Each structure stands twice: as structure tokens, then as C-alpha cells.
Structure 1
């Protein structure tokens, strides 16, 4: 019998995310700290590479310096975007187990990724898309947000159902379009709690990011009719 998709309740998703985090805080704090470290490292590397390129090209004139700096920035940013997709995959791996597995995911489970070649394909598609859109002032940013929403479950479908990258994109597109209203409300609520988390010297993000990841994967399970493990 095919699963029966349910109705997404934003409050229930947030409550579920908080309950799951409290019940398994250690691994989630650990993986979030690693994500922070990777993010800081990528930022420093991007800044240092761009600054070094600008200094090296300064003697060749202003236009050469701008061109070189822009080129280096685009390449380094693209690399960072590609790598960050694998970081996101680790989050999704843990959240899938947290929301549907019989046991809480241990720290090492986050790194036991499957379908890695297709993760790389999906990461490459997203990287190319964001780089191309970055050349379009304002509209590019808006389109990046729209595509980010439409593809928000691509990694989840890829890891949970072992789908190919293109198939996972189509699956995510279908799910988000069919459930546009509830998912937008959920993402707005998650954006709000992460803004609050960021205002607390950033430390609140150690809680709000895991809660957000779990809540999104809870939404995936509810909307696809997949089994959901008890919150407690």
C-alpha cells in the first residue's frame, strides 16, 4: 500500500525538532560545531585568497586587479559552495535517522553518507546554478532563494530513497510546489528562530540549526507519508 501523505503543522514540526534535539543534544552540538569550523575556514580562505590576488594584480592596473580579484572570488566561492553541500548532506543523514530510525543517530552516523557520486552531481548542479545567478543583480539573488526553496528536499530524497541527482531535484520540486503554503510558513518560522539564535552572540545557532534540520526532515516525512519516529 502506498504511503498516505499527511498535513504539515508548523507548530508540531518546531516542537518535534526541539524535542528531538533535547533527547540527543550531544551529536547535534558536535556536528553543528564542525559546520561552524568549516564555515569559518572557508570564509578565511576566501578572504585571504581574494586579498592575495588583489595585491598581486595591483601592479598591473586597476582593471586587471578587479578582473583577477573577481575571478579568484568566484572560483573560491564556488569551491566553498560545493564543499558545503557535503556538510549539508551530513546534517540530512543524521536528521533522517533522527526522524525515522529506531535509534538516535550517534555522532559518527552523520558521516556515513551513501550515494556519494550523486551527492557530488547535485552539489555541482547547485554550484553552477548559484554562480551563474550571481552575475544577475538583485534578480539573481531572488532566483537563488526561489530555487533554494524548490530544491530544499533534493538531498533528502537522494539520501533517503537513493535517487539520482536529477530525479531528486524533480521529486523536491514536486513536493514543494504541492505543499507551497505550509512549507513557506515553516521556513519563515525557522528563519525567525535562527535570527534570534544569531542575535545571542551566535551561540543560539548551536540549538536552532539542529532544530531546523530536524523540523525540515519531519516535514519531509509527514508530506511524503513516510513513518515518523516518536518525538520522545
Structure 2
């Protein structure tokens, strides 16, 4: 009987210890609904000559207690004050006639873990009838990265571009070891979103992309930097 009790207690102890090894709950990323990707948002409620209130919407995500709405003005690269909510909608006032990006971070309060949605771009409608392209989103090399050049002493620069009017015309690449980069090294058409640059080892480089549409409207990606081994 004594051996039975010892064995039973050992099993209980092992079970209780094992339960503590369960991974902490990790939330899933939310799916964005509105404003639509690469669209013009015309549903904002005007609150002043320069601002309108836009309602953002996303789907509920599993293992999530709250959401953090992140909205960035792409003209100034200034982020709005993040808005925390347990709901799947939130309304904020943003500038008219301005490009924005938005994303949602799902939060699990018990574990402290988070998950981030995709990032969508949109123009908040203003009085203009034509819009500049969205600023190109620089992808690779990531800003602050250290990269290995190819045997041909080259690095491939990659970005993403979009335009609410669907009239993108070209991308001009500025690349230099000086900041800001003022040397134009090449122009690609609207469907080519990469450029191969010649580099040297142990050098920091700066690059940006200027997008142009068929109306002559332009936008600037802002500057990324990277170092070559």
C-alpha cells in the first residue's frame, strides 16, 4: 500500500510539472477589412477643413484579448498615437488627401505575446481628383542590415509600389555612400521593382526610390541604409 501511494504521488507530481510546460497562448494575426488595400477611402466623416474621421475595421483573431491599431502618415512618416481596443473597429481623425498605412497588432494579455496583421495602404480622400503614387515600400536590404555582396560585387535592391489611380509610370533609384543619396543610378518601369547596384566591401550605402505616375505626380520612399561585408 505504501508503494502504491508513493507511485501515485509521483505520477501526480509529474503530471502537475508537465502542465507547467504548456506553451503560453499566442494570438493569431487579424485580417484587415477596411479601408481596402491600395484604395481611396471616401467614407470619412469631415470634422474640419483638413481632417476627417475614418472607421477602421478588421476581423476577430483567436487567443486575442485586445487590439492595437497602428496608422502611419506616409507623407511625414509620423505614426498616429496607437489606439488600443477590445473591439474590431476603431475611428480616428486623420488628414484629408493624404496616404496612410495601417495594421493591427493582436495582444494576449495573459502571455504578453502579440501578432501583427498585414500592412495595407490607402489614401484618405481629399479635394484632389488625382493622387500621387503611394511612397515605395523598401524591402531589401532592410534598413540597418549588413549584407553580403555577390561575386560580381553587386547587391539587389527591392521595393514594392502601388498607386490608387493605377497609373504608375516609373521608379527612379537613388543610391550613394552619402546620406541623403542624391545620385540617380537608374529608372525602372512600373512593373520592375528591383535594381542591381554595384557595391564595395566595408561600406555603408544609402538608397531611396521616387515613384512617378503618368500625371507626373511623385512620391519619395524615404532613405534606407545598409552595410556591405
Q: TM-score range by the shorter chain?
A: under 0.3
TM-score of the superposed pair, with normalisation by structure 2: 0.23
Higher relative contact order (CA 8 A, sep 6+): 1
Flag the structure with higher strand content.
2
TM-score of the superposed pair, with normalisation by structure 1: 0.23
Q: Which has the larger radius of gyration?
A: 2
